[in-house]
């Protein structure tokens, strides 16, 4: 039912994702309800499809964000530290923040400065976002996310839409084919940098 989970408001979008089984937990439903996608998507924010945000980037479709949050949920507890690689519009960064508060930290790393700024600017549109930014709970930094963000490591979770050829460990979202196709920015040999920055079990 992906692509058919449209809404006319943020609330009906979340309801639709829930009805179609794309959101299965109340925690993800509550987090996505608390972040208005209209602050991040330039047009048709409640349609279940990706939208261009310029600079050859997109804000992913809502069902992709739901899937990322649901997949990582065990690691997104209050107080957790999360790295969002390729933060783009900043939407997923804020949804992740809603899941790890109180006490958590989410850093969005973006390699295009204009998009780093966009993520920050979009987050400032809500009181919650302004509060998180001013407290340093949410940060947008410029960098090559394939290298992670050592200054903030270790991370409880790293989420990335760019291709990570990582084996094992549930802490790192292993991008599904759709995420890889979506960005197609694969590079060999970088995943180890990210794995080393995780609080992985058995390490």
Residues that bind ligand SAH (CB under 6 A): 57-60, 85-89, 91-92, 109-112, 115, 144-146, 161-162, 183, 185
C-beta nearest to ligand SAH: residue: 86
Closest to 97 in 3D by CA, of 71, 123, 62: 123
* Cα–Cα distance measured from residue 89 to residue 42, given in angstroms and rounded to the nearest whole number: 9
Q: Which of 16, 60, 123, 163 is catalytic?
A: 60
By C-beta, is 58 or 105 nearer to ligand SAH? 58
Closest distance of CB 83 from ligand SAH, Å:
11
Give the C-alpha separation, 123 to 19, whole Å: 27
Task: Tell the smallest beta-carbon distance from residue 127 to ligand SAH (Å).
Answer: 22
Residue owning tokens 């991008």:
175
Whether residue 167 lies in the annotated active site: no
Q: Write out the DSSP string of 24-53.
A: --HHHHHHHHHS-GGGT-SS-TTSSS-EEE
Q: How far is the CB of 193 from ligand SAH (least distance, A)?
A: 11
- Alpha-carbon distance 53 to 41, whole Å? 7
Provide the annotated active-site residues: 60
């Amino acid at each position: 039912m992906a692509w058919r989970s449209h809404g006319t408001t943020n609330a009906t979008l979340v309801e639709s994702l829930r009805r179609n089984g794309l959101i299965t937990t109340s925690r993800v439903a509550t987090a996505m309800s608390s972040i208005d996608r209209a602050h991040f998507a330039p047009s048709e924010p409640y349609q279940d499809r990706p939208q261009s945000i310029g600079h050859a980037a997109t804000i992913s479709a809502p069902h992709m964000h739901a899937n990322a949050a649901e997949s990582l949920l065990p690691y997104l507890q209050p107080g957790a530290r999360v790295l969002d690689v390729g933060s783009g519009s900043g939407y997923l960064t804020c949804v992740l923040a809603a899941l790890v508060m109180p006490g958590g930290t989410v850093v969005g790393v973006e390699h295009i400065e204009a998009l780093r700024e966009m993520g920050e600017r979009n987050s400032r549109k809500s009181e919650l976002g302004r509060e998180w930014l001013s407290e340093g709970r949410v940060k947008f930094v410029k960098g090559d996310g394939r290298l992670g963000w050592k200054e903030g490591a270790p991370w409880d979770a790293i989420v990335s839409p760019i291709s990570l050829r990582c084996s094992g460990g549930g802490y790192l979202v292993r991008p599904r084919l759709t995420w890889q196709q979506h960005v197609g920015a694969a590079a060999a040999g970088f995943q180890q940098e990210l794995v080393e920055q995780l609080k992985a079990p058995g390490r």
